[in-house]
Structure 1
């Protein structure tokens, strides 16, 4: 068969993805189901799907919704070109599919509505981050990409927000996760979500420049080792780097951390160097930071190396003298957000999944949030037809008939929303050592619909 890919190209190029490929970046069963819908002549039936997490990752009391911007961009560009359609046809998988399926793909665009929680908003288990209302075939096909986009960025934003909450507003937090992210694309999403979740800057140059931010970083052990070997001393390495980047922190734990600090202190005292900061990447960070602070009292100390929110909390509890952190591996990896995407209504008929341990609630839903003196007191999961005058509805209309209604928000706007959202949470929900999440109330109308749908499906 003729491939969509050019096998004369290196494999690395074959596996790159562009926006033109977005519609094919899906699971096969999305396409086979869409073909079946067409064959049964139900492809244009109005369907509503909701994306939510049944439960939070272990050790998490809340999530910070993130990834909506990229989801909307994907939906705006959703389409299939002739080359892609021919490649699908040549697989042979669709040999028995209705011929009209190919016309559906060739002419199709996303024409639905998107209701979603604004990025940077705290959410809890069972609360929809997003709802798609669209012709059935469209709402079905977009599932895989939306889950990939929102699940990953929500994880990163949540961990970033927790790190910021523990570290405090004055502590510098840098995103260093590019080399550990699960792909080059993931590294860009991780950087964006980390900044929107509360971190100050990213070392990912492409992500920073695309977002209109300034990248931030220090230096690696390799530079110290190379210049030390070729020019005779660690001090020469420090002097050379500062000649070209006078404001950058110096990495001082390549050999003997305390000895390096003392040598730098002598240079500072002699007026040979204006040292703004140093970085520690290994060893006992509590003890080392205290010793270095005594030697270099006016120098900022940054720490990196398997840092996460729990490690920041531990270091603070032990009075480590650290002014900022580089957070990498544990930020961009770890326990996933296991969001799911479930059909809740078709042609006005509420539907629900009843599988053991995987129940989903029927009907199009809204989250009604209650604040008392600025603190979140209660969330009620209800139906879109309900109204609670003293509560804030969280899901907002972001896309109508396939057209975005508002311009893309800035990272600063989302970061500010994240900060305000976390601050509004009760203390026990923000506490890393607590297993106390917010309980989400089910409205009487939703409960009645659940009961009725259960009866109707028996």
Structure 2
């Protein structure tokens, strides 16, 4: 028996969706409304617990998906073989076979700070196309926005000089997720990733150290921890040595003696366990010229605690808590169909109608608050509209940005926020108000819905 490759490539994008997207598309075709112009917006109803902001990320993958979306003959046959579409209208199959994505997309640039209920992206397309796109868009933007936000918070806490390394591949939710996590982490402010494939594909140099296994293998076979260090440095003289396999301070003392005797040089060491604040201080006293990298289930809260405790740490390896955690629970909701605004009014899940724009007000480079309004609202002199036109009639209209450019936007976006909004504990709520026109449209849409028989 052979197992299929469960890897999603552009040729598979047509089927990378939830079943109900396709069953609804079939219904739309059968009822003659599949080509009605629809607008869906992707946003988060609330920020992750304890967060004062989010950093939008994943737009590049969203555009790649939409501009490559198609249904091959193999896709259509696979759908027929399920037996679920035996009553689907003939037009459904014709629609899938003939069409890719032909709509428009508006989105905030990657690296932009965003807040609850503000659209990260809006799709304006024939109803069936916009519907099918929901699953992949949420997958791409939700996860990368979470990673980028965590990366931005880590950078904000650690400071601009600390070296921050993404070590999360083994803890990410899938091989594909690991690649996206590496990209989002770099775009969010980290310096490098240990994922070799991600680094090569992104034009970066991978970064890493060594594992305890190397030390244990040498001590079992060759006789000592120092033999392991010597052997590793023979091939990687500038690499960080992992010195906490047995006795961290004792290892640092022995290395310091060798450095003083001119027998070796130690560029960096890594600490992965124990009281990192105390151990880093002890290691610094013995190896003052070596950089100290800390790892071991670290997050922004632990880095903040270490800095307050006087830790002598130059950089951090971030893994599990960077690539996992409370999700960004983004949703994708219909806001307009054939020019008519619509809204959801379910308890605790009410949405705002109409095609919207986010107007950010700046003063002296500082973000002073947002006005969530309609696309037709007038921009005030001190405001900047955030959503940009990125796909027109199915074609990308902007050149892809470099990770460096996105990371620079992330850093500027975080710096533009007030300290109380950025703080880790009980952050202040950033001011987001609704425009008068949006409030009026919501009231009108609600009244219209209530008046329906």
Instruction: Please report the TM-score for the alignment, with normalisation by the length of structure 2.
Output: 0.98
Q: 1:437 aligns with which of 426, 429, 438?
A: 429
- Mapped to 1, the partners of 2:263 and 2:75 lie a distance apart of 62
- Mapped to 2, the partners of 1:324 and 1:420 lie a distance apart of 21
Q: 1:88 aligns with which of 75, 79, 87?
A: 79
1:403 and 2:395 are equivalent in the alignment: yes
> What is the SS of the residue equivalent to 1:370?
strand
Please report how far the alpha carbon of residue 15 of structure 1 lies from its aligned counterpart in structure 2 after TM superposition. Answer: 1.9
After the TM superposition, which residues 297-376 of structure 1 pair with which residues of structure 2 at under 5 Å, given as runs?
297-376=288-367
Could you list the structure 1 runs, at least 4 aligned residues long, displaced by more than 2 angstroms after superposition: none
Indicate the residue corresponding to 1:457 in structure 2. Answer: 449
Indicate the residue corresponding to 1:414 in structure 2. Answer: 406
- Mapped to 2, the partners of 1:264 and 1:21 lie a distance apart of 53
- Mapped to 1, the partners of 2:270 and 2:98 lie a distance apart of 56
Q: Deviations over 1:260-295 (max 9, x none)?
A: 001110111111112110000000001100111111
Count of aligned pairs: 449
- Mapped to 2, the partners of 1:224 and 1:116 lie a distance apart of 49
- Mapped to 2, the partners of 1:24 and 1:360 lie a distance apart of 28
Please report how far the alpha carbon of residue 229 of structure 1 lies from its aligned counterpart in structure 2 after TM superposition. Answer: 1.1
Q: Deviations over 1:289-331 (max 9, x none)?
A: 0111111111110000011110110000111000000000000
> What is the SS of the residue equivalent to 2:50?
coil
> Which runs of 5 or more structure 1 residues have no equivalent in the other structure?
1-7
1:239 and 2:230 are equivalent in the alignment: yes
Please report how far the alpha carbon of residue 435 of structure 1 lies from its aligned counterpart in structure 2 after TM superposition. Answer: 3.0
Indicate the residue corresponding to 1:193 in structure 2. Answer: 184
Indicate the residue corresponding to 1:5 in structure 2. Answer: none
After the TM superposition, which residues 2-401 of structure 1 pair with which residues of structure 2 at under 5 Å, given as runs?
8-10=1-3, 13-390=4-381, 391-401=383-393
> What is the SS of the residue equivalent to 1:287?
helix
- Mapped to 2, the partners of 1:214 and 1:91 lie a distance apart of 45
- Mapped to 2, the partners of 1:50 and 1:431 lie a distance apart of 29
Please report how far the alpha carbon of residue 35 of structure 1 lies from its aligned counterpart in structure 2 after TM superposition. Answer: 0.2
Q: Deviations over 1:197-216 (max 9, x none)?
A: 00000000000000000000
**1:124/1:437 contact within 8 Å kept:** no
> Which runs of 5 or more structure 2 residues have no equivalent in the other structure?
none
Please report how far the alpha carbon of residue 384 of structure 1 lies from its aligned counterpart in structure 2 after TM superposition. Answer: 0.2
> What is the SS of the residue equivalent to 1:87?
helix
**2:14/2:75 contact within 8 Å kept:** no
**1:67/1:150 contact within 8 Å kept:** yes
- Mapped to 2, the partners of 1:347 and 1:404 lie a distance apart of 24
Please report how far the alpha carbon of residue 437 of structure 1 lies from its aligned counterpart in structure 2 after TM superposition. Answer: 2.2
Please report how far the alpha carbon of residue 135 of structure 1 lies from its aligned counterpart in structure 2 after TM superposition. Answer: 0.3
Please report how far the alpha carbon of residue 14 of structure 1 lies from its aligned counterpart in structure 2 after TM superposition. Answer: 3.2
Q: Aligned Cα RMSD in Å?
A: 0.7
**2:368/2:431 contact within 8 Å kept:** no
> What is the SS of the residue equivalent to 2:41?
strand
Q: Deviations over 1:135-168 (max 9, x none)?
A: 0000000000000000000000000000000000
